[in-house]
Amino acid sequence: MLCVRNLTYHPAATPHPILEGINLSLEPRQMGLILGPSGSGKSTLLEIMSGLAKQTSGQLLWRDQDLTPDDLRQLGGLVFQFPERHFCGSTILEELRLGHSALKKERIDQALQEVGLSQISLSTSPRALSGGQQRRLALAVQLIRQPFLLLLDEPTAGLDWSMRQQLVEVLKKLKTEWSLLVVSHDAKDMVAIADRCWRLDHGHLAPVYPAAIESA
């Protein structure tokens, strides 16, 4: 189980904490969904949970083990908002092998199968993919690392309805094997597959019933 206990993030340069008293828990093979407007602290929370930033106070635990930023970088795989902007490989194969030069083809094939891209040639340029396919490739890049937790920042942002639905189906499949934590300002299309939901507002996190999100 992943647990966040009384987490606060208050950089010295800000008059008020960006995150304050955050508590949440997520079981293995569950999907958690955090809804909140821009500027509410969603991306900051994911950066802390992925080890890219360190909280001011509070604990992050996995199976009751207190986690350092180094631990979190090993545990989690973060997919940024608009991850296609960060692609560096000239082909899908190059993109997947960045930092993993000795990666075996079986592992590549498995990752692409998980996200529904196994039918596309490895020599295809990532920039030749559709928007939805690019998002799925970004997921495959993280699956190559075999994290325990997938962290997704606005995964459906900028996609049309059809591509959003395809990506939601991929996330539904992935949560049968991984824990997922998704943040979004508009998460209505993901509520149906979420196991737990919260709302983040001005740095404060509170549980919310899925029905409240669907009717908002």
pLDDT digits (tens, 9 = 90+) for 114-159: 999 999 999 999 999 999 999 999 999 999 988 999 999 999 999 9
Query: Which residues, 6 or more positions from 67, have their beta carbon under 8 angstroms from its beta carbon?
Result: 60, 61, 75
| Polymer length in residues for the chain | 216
Query: What domains can you pick out in the chain, each with its CATH number?
Result: 2-214 (3.40.50.300)
Q: Once rounded to an integer, what is the mean pLDDT over residues 89-104?
A: 88
Residue type, 41: G
**Residue 104 pLDDT grade (very low, low, confident, very high; cuts 50, 70, 90):** confident
Residue 28 in tokens: 């293995």
Share of the chain above pLDDT 70, in %: 97
pLDDT recorded at residue 45 = 96
Q: Which residues pair with 4 in a beta bridge?
A: 24, 60
pLDDT, tens digit, for every residue of 27-67? Answer: 999 999 999 988 899 999 999 999 999 999 999 999 889 99
Tokens of 71: 């631990």
Q: What pLDDT, on the 0 to 100 scale, is given for residue 214?
A: 60
Please report the DSSP string for 83-144 in residue order. GGGG---SSHHHHHHTT-TT--HHHHHHHHHHTT-TTS-TTS-GGGS-HHHHHHHHHHHHHT
Q: Across the chain, what does the average pLDDT equal?
A: 92
Q: How confident is the model at residue 185 (pLDDT cuts 50, 70, 90)?
A: confident
Map residue 172 onto helix, strand or coil: helix
Number of CB atoms found within 10 A of residue 91's CB:
15
Top pLDDT among 181 and 213 is at 181
Q: H/E element holding 71?
A: helix 69-75
Q: Which residue has the higher pLDDT, 210 or 14?
A: 14
Q: What are phi and psi of 60, to 5 degrees?
A: -120, 125
Claim: this prediction has a pTM higher than 0.85: yes
Residue 63, pLDDT score: 86
Report the C-alpha gap between 206 and 208 in whole angstroms.
6
